[in-house]
Amino acid sequence: MSIKLYNTMSRRPEEFKSIEDNKVSMYCCGPTVYNYAHIGNLRTYIFEDILHRTLQHAGYDVKHVMNITDVGHLTGDGDDGEDKLNKRAKETGKSVWDIAQFYTDAFFKDESHLNIVRPNIVCKATDHIQDMIELIKKLEANGHTYVSGGNVYFSIDTIDDYGKLAGLRLDDLKEGARIEVDSNKKNPKDFVLWFTNSKFKDQAMVWPSPWGVGYPGWHIECSAMSSKYLGDHFDIHCGGIDAIPVHHTNEIAQSEAASGKKPWVNYWCHGEFLLNDKGKMSKSSGEFLTLSVLESKGYDALDYRYFCLSGHYRSQLKFSFEALDHAKSARESLVKRVAELKNSSVCDLGQKAQDYKNQFFAAMENDLMAPQALAVLWSMLKDKDVTDGEKLALVLEMDQILGLRLDEVKPLSETKDDIPEDVKALALKRAQAKKEKNFALADEIRNTLKDMGYIVKDTPQGPVLERV
Ligand code: AMP
Ligand code: ZN
C-alpha cells in the first residue's frame, strides 16, 4: 500500500508511513456542541471519513478518536472570547449540560445520514477534566507555565519552535498580534491552560483543581484526550484549516512540552473551507445552512456527500443550490445505474476492469483525489468492454470509500413500485405456499402471475417480481 498525504507541517505531499505496521492512529477535532453543525463543519467530517475509509481499504487497522467540545468554548486565544455554551443556555433557559447533549445528538444524527463511519472512540471534554489537570501539572513541573491574575498560562517562550505548524515567526507574533490584550500575559501569544478568574463570573461548568475552582482553556482537551487514547506519538491529526494558527499550534506546544518528545504527530491533515456568497460559512456569522435544512428542501444527505466528493478536500468549495442540484442528479443517476446492474451477479475482474480499479484507488490514495476517482467510476460505467457483473463488483468496492450506500440499492425489478397490489398479494401467497411445501399451489400461482404479466424469480435474497 502506498498512500500520499499532504502534510501541513512540511507543506508538501508525503508518502504515508505508519508508526506501527498496518495500524493507523488518528485524532480529529470534533464539534463544539452549542449549536447545530453547519454544512461547512460537516464537509470537514466527510473529508476525515474519506481519509478513514481510504486507509481502511488500503489494509490499515484505523483507530480514529474524536472529541466532543462540551465545555465552555471561547472563541479567542485567551480570555477574550465568549462562552458560547453559557450564552446559548441563557438564551434558551436550558442547562449547559442539556444544550451540549441536545446538539451532540443532533450532530450524530447528521453524521449517520451522511454515512460517516463513527470514530472508534468519541470522547467528551467534560468526562476528561482530570486528564487535563494531570497534563497541566506535568507542564507546570516541566517549567512551561505561570500563574497570573488567577489563571494558569502556557509560556510560549519556554519552547524554541512555537508556531512551526503555521510557519509563524515569533518576532511577527509579538508585534502583529491582533488579539485582545490580556495584561496577565508575558507574551501576547501565551494561552490559558486553566481559568479560575474568567471575566464570566456566572460560569456554569466548573471543577476543583490545584489552582482553584475553574475550567480548562480551549486547547488542552485535545492534547489530553489524544494522548490518553493514542499515546504521546501518533500518526495523523486532522481538522479544518482554521485550526492551524492557534488551536493546533497550541496543541503541539502543550503536547511536546509535556512529553518532551518530538514530533508529537507525524502527519497534519487539514480540510479547506466550504464557502457561501459571503465567504467562509461560519456559526458566528449566523448565516449558515444545516443538513436538516437541505433535507427539508427535498435533498438526501448523500446528495451533499456527493457534492463534497466533487471537490478536493484541500480546495475551497463554493456552496450553491445549483451545484447541489447537479450533485443530486449525478447521485440519482448513479443509484439508478447500480439498480440496473444489480440484476447481474458480481464476477471476477478482467484486465480492463482491473485497470479501472487501479486508477480509482490510485486517485484516492494520492492525497484523496476524489473528483478524479469519481471521473474514473463514470468512465468505467460507460465502458462497453466492461461487463455488468464486473461493473457491479467494481462500483461496490469503490463505494467502500465513497460511502454512498450503493450496497443498499435494490435491484431495479424490486424498486418498481408500479407493481399492482393484487400481484404483490399473490406473490406473497405463493411464498407462503412454498414455505408450507404446497408446491402445486405455488406453481399454480406462478402461472396465474405469468398470465398477469409477471414472472417470479427466486433469488438468494428471496423472490423477486419482474415484468415478463
Ligand atoms: P467547530 O464545531 O466550530 O469547532 O468546527 C468543527 C470543524 O469544522 C472544525 O474542524 C473546523 O475547522 C471546521 N470548519 C469550520 N467552518 C468550516 C467551513 N466553513 N468549512 C469547512 N470546515 C469548517
Ligand atoms: Zn482540537
Give residue 457's pLDDT band: very low, low, confident or very high (50, 70, 90).
confident
14 Cβ closer than 6 Å to some ligand 1 atom = no
Q: Judge whether residue 74 has pLDDT over 70.
A: no
pLDDT score, position 171: 56
Reference 110, options 239, 301, 306; nearest CA is 301
280 Cβ closer than 6 Å to some ligand 1 atom = yes
Mean pLDDT over each residue of the chain, to the nearest integer: 90
Instruction: Write the pLDDT tens digit of every residue in 424-452.
Output: 888 888 988 888 888 899 889 988 988 88
Q: Judge whether residue 179 has pLDDT over 60.
A: no
pLDDT score, position 82: 62
> Taking the model in full, what pTM does it have?
0.86
DSSP state of 218: S
Q: What is the dihedral of CA 48, 50, 56, 58, to 10 degrees?
A: -120
Nearest ligand atom owner, CA of 221: 2
217 Cβ closer than 6 Å to some ligand 1 atom = no
- State the distance from the centre of ligand 1 to the C-alpha of 241, rounded, in angstroms: 8
Looking at the chain, the whole-number percentage of residues with pLDDT higher than 70 is: 91
Instruction: Report the nearest-CA residue for atom 14 of ligand 1.
Output: 41
DSSP state of 384: T
Give residue 96's pLDDT band: very low, low, confident or very high (50, 70, 90).
confident
What is the rounded CA–CA span in Å between residue 427 and residue 314?
52
Neighbouring-strand partners of residue 238: 28, 269
Instruction: Write the pLDDT tens digit of every residue in 148-173.
Output: 999 999 999 999 999 999 987 655 55
435 to 90, 113, 441, 454, 455: CA distances (angstroms): 62, 37, 11, 20, 18
**Of the ranges 44-58, 143-157, 216-230, 420-434, which one carries the lowest mean pLDDT score?**
420-434
What is the rounded CA–CA span in Å between residue 340 and residue 43?
30
Give, for ligand 1, the residue of 27, 41, 272, 284 to mutate: max count of ligand atoms closer than 8 Å to Cβ: 41
Instruction: Report the nearest-CA residue for atom 8 of ligand 1.
Output: 41
More confident residue, 87 or 185: 185
- State the distance from the centre of ligand 1 to the C-alpha of 210, rounded, in angstroms: 33
240 Cβ closer than 6 Å to some ligand 1 atom = yes
Q: Which atom of ligand 1 is found nearest the CA of 274?
A: 20
- State the distance from the centre of ligand 1 to the C-alpha of 70, rounded, in angstroms: 15
- State the distance from the centre of ligand 2 to the C-alpha of 465, rounded, in angstroms: 52
Q: Judge whether residue 16 has pLDDT over 80.
A: yes
Residue 457 in 3-state DSSP? strand
Place of cell 492551524: 244
296 to 301, 335, 460: CA distances (angstroms): 10, 21, 37
281 Cβ closer than 6 Å to some ligand 1 atom = yes
Residues in the chain: 468
What is the rounded CA–CA span in Å between residue 259 and residue 247?
18
Nearest ligand atom owner, CA of 269: 1
Q: Judge whether residue 77 has pLDDT over 50.
A: no
Helix (H) or strand (E) holding 268: strand 265-271
What is the rounded CA–CA span in Å between residue 252 and residue 232?
11
CB 40 within 8 A of CB 318: no
242 Cβ closer than 6 Å to some ligand 1 atom = yes
Number of alpha helices (DSSP H) and beta strands (DSSP E) in the chain:
16, 16
What average pLDDT does range 162-188 have in this prediction?
72
- State the distance from the centre of ligand 2 to the C-alpha of 175, rounded, in angstroms: 26
Q: Which atom of ligand 1 is found nearest the CA of 240?
A: 12
What average pLDDT does range 214-231 have in this prediction?
95
Reference 284, options 92, 48, 97, 76; nearest CA is 76
Q: What does DSSP say about strands 215-216 and 274-276: parallel, antiparallel, or unpaired?
A: unpaired
